[in-house]
Amino acid sequence: MEVLSFPDLVEATFLDRPNRFTARALLGDEEVLVHVRDSGRMGELLLPGTRILLRKKSSGLPYELIAVFRENYGWVFTNSGYHSRIAETLIQSSIIPEFQAREYRKEVPLGESRIDFLLGSIPLEVKGCTLFQEDACLFPDAPTERGRRHLHTLMNNTPSGLLFLTFNDRVRYVSANDGTDPDFASTIVEALERGVHVWALRLHFDGRTLRWTGRIPFIYPREDEIFFLREAIDYALRSFPGELTSLWLKDKVKFNILFHEDVSQKLLSSLKSLGIRATPLRSLQFNGGTLVTYELLQ
């Protein structure tokens, strides 16, 4: 599905980043200043000599950064100013059926934060993710006190949701970047425990058009036991209309499955045949299905 199109981009070469919101680039023979909307570090992306795509602006700095080319990953969409617009387009489409036909408001004050969307009575915060390690997308790429504050707001207003937009179609899951921000990692696990639901959508940018290419789960921690369970759940779900949305470990392993039909008991039987025993803890009804939280039994 096409989400956004940029027919008028120009390619340049990244030189350096004097501050969080400004970069210098070489456009032909001319050095230009570029507005960087994403305040993250993007240290693995913004390397001197890297190819970048720019969009001409009508005010302020002459250009804004849209995408960065990374070897083995292609163009990575990096402009956080479009995150809300991307999410709104996806919410309005049938891509996220659980959000379909819900009235929504944008930029809603809630507690000490301003939440991106209020879907009916469900707060939804949106985060963009551009840090990749092999087949993983990691968030955040820099310590984020604001991100932790948003999670606390979501925890205080459950049921609520966190939506990750991942800007590469090679990644297979999203995880918390505990090496960079261990506090965010522990907070998102606590949020999952308390009924905050996490969705992750995968997008691909070809240098001109941004397209939605599928869903991926949130998984934490990145350990062999957790990955084995993910493969078993994916195998069991091949026979049922459902999707793994998140899988995490705190004191016990838990996971969320979005069902489009009432097949929860059939899934439990299928997992049991693979030697995996689980029990449902809670469920949340959406327009397009039911999200069920399970706990793994020892």
Provide φ and ψ at 195, rounded to 5°: 100, 10
Q: What is the largest CA-CA distance in the chain?
A: 65
Instruction: Please state the rounded mean pLDDT for residues 200-222.
Output: 97
The model carries a pTM of 0.95
CA 146 to the chain's CA centroid: 16
Neighbouring residues of 58: CB distance < 8 A, sequence distance ≥ 6: none
Same domain, 87 and 202: yes
Same domain, 264 and 202: no
Give the chain's domain count.
Answer: 3
Is the pLDDT assigned to residue 99 strictly greater than 90? no
The pLDDT of residue 261: 80
CA distance 168 to 200: 12
At 233, which CATH number?
Answer: 3.30.980.10
At 53, which CATH number?
Answer: 2.40.50.580
Instruction: Please state the rounded mean pLDDT for residues 219-223.
Output: 96
Is the pLDDT assigned to residue 263 strictly greater than 90? no
pLDDT tens sequence across 48-83: 999 999 999 999 999 999 999 999 999 999 999 999
The pLDDT of residue 241: 84
Same domain, 164 and 192: yes
Same domain, 102 and 165: yes
The pLDDT of residue 103: 86
Same domain, 48 and 159: no
Is the pLDDT assigned to residue 101 strictly greater than 70? no
What burial letters (b/e) apply to 170-192, b meaning 16+ CB within 10 Å? Answer: ebebbbbbbebbeebbebbbebb
Q: Tell me which residue of 92, 99, 124, 127 sits closest to 110, measured CA to CA.
A: 124
Same domain, 156 and 208: yes
Residue 115 lies in domain: 80-218
pLDDT tens sequence across 139-152: 999 999 999 999 99
Most confident of 74-83, 98-107, 111-120: 74-83
Domain boundary (200, 218, 236) is at 218
The pLDDT of residue 95: 79
Provide φ and ψ at 147, rounded to 5°: -65, -40
Domain boundary (51, 77, 103) is at 77
* Contact between 168 and 132 (Cβ < 8 Å): yes
Same domain, 91 and 136: yes
* Bridge partners for 255 per DSSP: 247, 294
Angle at 204 between CA 53 and CA 58, to 5 degrees: 35
At 128, which CATH number?
Answer: 3.40.1350.60
| 286 — pLDDT class (breaks 50, 70, 90) | confident
CA distance 255 to 233: 10
Q: Are strands 160-166 and 136-139 parallel, antiparallel or unpaired?
A: unpaired
**What radius of gyration, in Å, describes the C-alpha atoms of the chain?**
20
Same domain, 151 and 254: no
Instruction: Please state the rounded mean pLDDT for residues 250-277.
Output: 91
Same domain, 114 and 13: no
Domain boundary (174, 196, 218) is at 218
Same domain, 30 and 72: yes
Same domain, 98 and 189: yes
Same domain, 122 and 61: no
